[in-house]
């Protein structure tokens, strides 16, 4: 017996699942690993989590974490995973302890026509054309955008799990115990699998005080792929970005002061009244041309989500559960 993938988080686990559930090791404790582990536990499987880092030491903690499928493929699958995850995040937003709020998102476009094709990422959601809420930009795609605060959401996810996290470095997936191993190692998959198709992309953000910004809206401007910009309000600060720069594998991320100056200048040019700078952070996105979500023997791979980990996490977790139970 199996449930449709889209219903996994709502469907109660049949009693026999608790008696006959699979013993599973999840490798990785970022948003992908934690969400996958939770989805498996909710289906009655026994899960253990192994990771080299947690919380503030993970890539997930640095993320802007607003719903938007950025730097992830393939487009058809990403749109489905993103739509499922969006529905899940919207339901969780009813609980303020999750750190999730549903904002109004605007993606600025250069097309001033009134009837352009829908963006590929909106295949499973409602979008509309609207005036852009900034200076010097005519129109935008408008949509509901769940926003996650990683510092609140990752600990909340951890509290929902029965499994504890074992902190150690995994060097051999085949040597991990359990009936199955779920590889959610993100950028670590480059060496662990090994998979040279996954590579680091540098991200850098500036966090500021809210200033005069409307905390109910988030704005993304990708009209210049080399100088992307976004502003993501949190409950007591703003996240401003960004950059997506290929980075040498194995090298630590380094802050570029010029990137931060450019980000703040773009905010000013768009008429976004941000507050004073609080801090700056860098991280490495685990980019792969296509997310790898497939079974290979007793290992199920779930990595390569690029800049869209929070956008795809639950949709991908549902597909992992389906592979486990097939």
Nearest to residue 322, comparing CAs of 84, 66, 98, 67? 84
pLDDT tier at 313 (50, 70, 90 boundaries)? very high
Q: Strand runs (DSSP E) across 250-326, as ranges?
A: 277-288, 292-296, 299-303
Q: Which one has a higher pLDDT value, 209 or 116?
A: 209
pLDDT tier at 274 (50, 70, 90 boundaries)? very high
At 42 the three-state DSSP class reads helix
pLDDT digits (tens, 9 = 90+) for 8-64: 444 444 433 434 589 999 999 999 999 999 999 999 999 999 999 887 778 888 888
pLDDT, residue 5, reads: 43
pLDDT digits (tens, 9 = 90+) for 102-111: 999 999 987 6
What does the mean pLDDT of the chain come to? 91
- pLDDT(3) > 80: no
Nearest to residue 284, comparing CAs of 168, 186, 189? 186
Domains along the sequence of the chain with CATH: 5-324 (3.40.50.720)
259, containing H or E segment: helix 257-269
Angle at 87 between CA 82 and CA 90, to 5 degrees: 120
pLDDT, residue 112, reads: 63
- pLDDT(70) > 50: yes
Rounded Cα distance between 9 and 85, Å, is 10
Rounded Cα distance between 13 and 127, Å, is 34
The token pair that represents 146 in the structure block: 């769940």
Rounded Cα distance between 247 and 245, Å, is 6
Q: Tell me what the mean pLDDT of segment 258-284 comes to.
A: 96
At 233 the three-state DSSP class reads strand
- Give the pTM: 0.90
Rounded Cα distance between 177 and 22, Å, is 12
The token pair that represents 147 in the structure block: 């926003």
Q: Which of 99-113, 248-262, 299-313 has the lowest mean pLDDT?
A: 99-113
pLDDT > 70: percent of the chain? 93
pLDDT tier at 275 (50, 70, 90 boundaries)? very high
Dihedral angle, C-alpha 84, 87, 88, 94, nearest 10 °: 180
pLDDT digits (tens, 9 = 90+) for 120-165: 888 878 999 999 999 988 899 999 999 999 999 999 999 999 999 9
């Amino acid at each position: 017996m199996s449930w449709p993938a889209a219903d996994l988080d709502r469907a109660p686990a049949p009693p026999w699942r608790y008696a006959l559930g699979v013993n599973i090791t999840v490798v990785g404790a970022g948003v992908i690993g934690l969400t996958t582990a939770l989805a498996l536990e909710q289906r009655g499987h026994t899960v253990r989590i192994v990771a080299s880092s947690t919380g503030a030491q993970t890539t997930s903690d640095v993320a802007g974490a607003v719903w938007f499928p950025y730097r992830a493929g393939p487009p058809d699958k990403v749109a489905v995973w993103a739509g499922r995850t969006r529905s899940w995040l919207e339901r969780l937003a009813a609980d303020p302890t999750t750190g999730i709020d549903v904002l109004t998102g605007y993606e600025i476009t250069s097309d001033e026509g009134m009837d352009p094709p829908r963006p590929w990422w909106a295949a499973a959601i409602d979008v509309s054309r609207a005036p852009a809420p900034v200076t010097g930009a005519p129109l935008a795609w408008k949509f509901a955008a769940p926003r996650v605060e990683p510092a609140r959401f990752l600990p909340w996810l951890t509290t929902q799990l029965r499994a504890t996290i074992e902190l150690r470095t995994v060097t051999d997936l085949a040597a991990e115990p359990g009936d199955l191993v779920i590889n959610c190692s993100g950028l670590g998959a480059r060496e662990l699998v090994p998979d040279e198709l996954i590579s680091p992309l540098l991200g850098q953000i500036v966090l500021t005080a809210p200033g005069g910004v409307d905390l109910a809206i988030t704005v993304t401007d990708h009209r210049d792929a080399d100088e992307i910009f976004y502003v993501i309000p949190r409950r007591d600060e703003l996240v401003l970005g960004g950059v997506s720069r290929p980075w040498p594998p194995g090298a630590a991320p380094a802050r570029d002061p010029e990137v931060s100056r450019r980000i703040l200048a773009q905010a000013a040019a768009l008429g976004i009244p941000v507050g004073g700078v609080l801090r700056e952070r860098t991280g490495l996105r685990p980019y792969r041309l296509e997310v790898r979500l497939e079974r290979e023997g007793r290992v199920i791979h779930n990595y390569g989500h690029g800049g869209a980990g929070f956008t795809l996490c639950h949709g991908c977790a549902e597909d992992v559960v389906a592979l486990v139970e097939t």
